[in-house]
Amino acid sequence: MDGHLTLDVGISERPWVTGWIRTEPAKEQMADELDDVKASLAGDGAAYRRIVERYQGHVSRILWYFTRDPDTHAELIQEAFVQAYLSLPGFKAKAGLGHWLATVATRVGYRYWRQTARQKARDAAQTGLSQQVSGPLEELTAAEAAELVHRLLARLPPRDRLVLTLRYLEGCSVEETSRRTGWTTTMVKVQTLRARRRLGLLLRSSQGQIP
């Protein structure tokens, strides 16, 4: 590849569904992936395109938790694969390419949250939850409930939002959350408790705004 990396990471119509279920790759696939990594490091653009095509849905699903804006989502996917390409020299085969890319995508999403946290806090202060809910909570559709959760989480600090997203929306274990964030397992547990407390306070303070 040349110095100007261009990746084709087109977004599916329903990016949060694409790649929802991933199984551990077979040994043959892992061997092929390792060959593609080695070839990519040697400058083989076709090899890296194969990696992108294989894991685009996986990365897309993870980053859908970080933004519901299609344009921003597409940009984050692009950035994740660019960051992954630049970080390939540090890839360790033992981790597995899918797990490694999940870590890269999570950190790209977290950085985006940190960069936009102040603006989101201002927007949240001006826009009450009552504008997000059209009726009683019991009557919300699954999509409306998911959107409400997303908006509630958006009002938390980025670290709280990240740990709750990984632990409860993605269903990651403490160990997996530790690996993807770079935090110790103790820090994950402490951050989870703090984040749950803050979310509880946010919910209680917002009850009067929900019809």
Answer whether residue 26 shows pLDDT above 50: yes
- For residue 181, give the nearest of 113, 123, 132 by alpha carbon: 113
pTM over 0.95: no
For residues 129 and 209, the answer to whether their CB atoms sit within 8 Å is yes
Tell me how far apart the alpha carbons of residues 211 and 206 are, in angstroms, rounded to a whole number.
10
Tell me how far apart the alpha carbons of residues 133 and 103 are, in angstroms, rounded to a whole number.
33
Q: What is the pLDDT of residues 137-189, one digit of tens each?
A: 555 566 666 677 777 888 888 999 999 999 988 889 999 999 999 999 999 99
> Which domains does the chain possess?
1-126 (1.10.1740.10), 131-211 (1.10.10.10)
DSSP state of 130: G
From its phi and psi, is residue 171 left (phi > 0), alpha (psi between -120 and 50) or beta? left
